[in-house]
């Protein structure tokens, strides 16, 4: 059970390990792209290429969906970013229940966006957990875990790509030793939540420090992205870093300097952010050099207004 590209490596590994995949359950096809063309989820595309039956129910909380699920007669269900909460009838359908590949070191970052919030909140280390699913939100018993460092300039999209392959290794190891693993209960006292982001989360608050803004720029890719305003035009910030000069008494959002190396902007606590890659609404993503070739950003200009 999985939907996005991040779930494909686990499905591919299950096939490569020789497991008999009864079916792939994935989200319904959705309109995508500028043309809003109906597009299949990546897991469906992989399944069809390998002759695996695919099911895409609109709802799970129906007698028909529950009966179809039970009829698969599987040993267990592997769930990777499926995107739906499983009813109790699904969790109890198979002898080994449902095993989730979750992209954090549970109990930290329970929820829909663990990779994004781990970066935003400044974690140095994250990882992947296989978990025996229960009725709670990522509260089931831990089976296995693997950890990895987060790169200092790594975006959420880049980290998710790495974790998807780490998760494929972990589910392979989990199924190979499923009968000998002793599940470990999660310590709720150390739990944290990683909720879905909204578009408003992407609005840059220049009162934050440069480090905080930089982490949000990396963590909110590909959605909701970090954006601000400059002379009435929406600007998306794609790459930036905390810079060494201090902003002094200048107000947050004020431009100190703009040159081919980047645009230095004052942030909270007198810190400075150097923007090196950005995108004006309606235009392509570009370096600061290319941006400044077509736009004037003199010292004293202000972002966020």
* pLDDT values of the chain reduced to their tens digit, one per residue, 305 residues: 999 999 999 999 999 999 999 999 999 999 987 788 899 999 999 999 999 999 999 999 999 999 999 999 999 999 999 999 999 999 999 999 999 999 999 999 999 999 999 999 999 999 999 999 999 999 999 999 999 999 999 999 999 999 999 999 999 999 999 999 999 999 999 999 999 999 999 999 999 999 999 999 999 999 999 999 998 899 999 999 999 877 667 899 999 999 999 999 999 999 999 999 999 999 999 999 999 998 899 999 999 97
For CATH 3.10.25.10, the residue range(s) in the chain are: 199-294
Topology (CATH level 3) of domain 199-294: 3.10.25
Q: Burial level of 296, CB count in 10 A (0-12/13-18/19+)?
A: exposed
Give exposure, 63-100, as e/b (b: 16+ Cβ within 10 Å): eebbeebeebebebbbbbbbebebbebbbebbeebbbb
pLDDT at 247 (0 to 100): 66
For CATH 3.40.50.170, the residue range(s) in the chain are: 5-190
- Concatenated DSSP letters for 229-241? EETTEEEEEEEEE
pLDDT at 305 (0 to 100): 74
5-190 CATH choice from 3.90.1150.10, 3.40.50.170, 3.40.50.2020, 3.40.50.720: 3.40.50.170
């Amino acid at each position: 059970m999985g939907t996005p590209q991040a779930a494909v490596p686990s499905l591919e590994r299950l096939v490569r390990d020789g497991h008999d995949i009864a079916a792939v359950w994935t989200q319904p096809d959705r309109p995508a792209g500028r043309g809003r063309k109906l597009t299949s989820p990546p897991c469906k595309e992989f399944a069809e290429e390998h002759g695996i039956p695919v099911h895409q129910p609109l709802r799970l909380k129906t007698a028909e969906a529950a009966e179809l699920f039970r009829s698969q007669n599987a040993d267990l269900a592997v769930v990777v970013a499926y995107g739906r909460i499983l009813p109790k009838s699904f969790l109890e359908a198979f002898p080994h229940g449902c095993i989730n590949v979750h992209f954090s070191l549970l109990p930290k970052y329970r929820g829909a966006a663990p990779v994004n919030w781990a970066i935003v909140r400044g974690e140095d280390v994250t990882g992947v957990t296989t978990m025996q699913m229960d009725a709670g939100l990522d509260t089931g018993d831990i089976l296995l875990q693997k950890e990895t460092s987060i790169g200092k300039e790594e975006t959420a999209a880049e980290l998710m790509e790495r974790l998807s392959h780490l998760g494929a290794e972990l589910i392979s190891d989990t199924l190979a030793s499923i009968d000998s693993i002793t599940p470990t209960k999660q310590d709720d006292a150390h739990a944290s939540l990683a909720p879905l982001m909204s578009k408003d989360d992407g609005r840059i608050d220049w009162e934050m420090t440069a480090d905080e803004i930089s982490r949000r720029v990396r963590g909110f890719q590909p959605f909701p992205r970090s954006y601000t305003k400059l002379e009435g035009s929406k600007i998306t910030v794609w790459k930036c870093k905390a810079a060494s000069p201090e902003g002094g008494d200048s107000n947050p959002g004020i431009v100190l300097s703009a040159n081919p190396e980047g645009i230095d902007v004052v942030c909270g606590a007198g810190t400075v952010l150097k923007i090196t890659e950005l995108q004006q609404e309606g235009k392509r993503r570009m370096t600061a050099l290319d941006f400044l070739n077509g736009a004037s950003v003199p010292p004293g200009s202000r972002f966020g207004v």
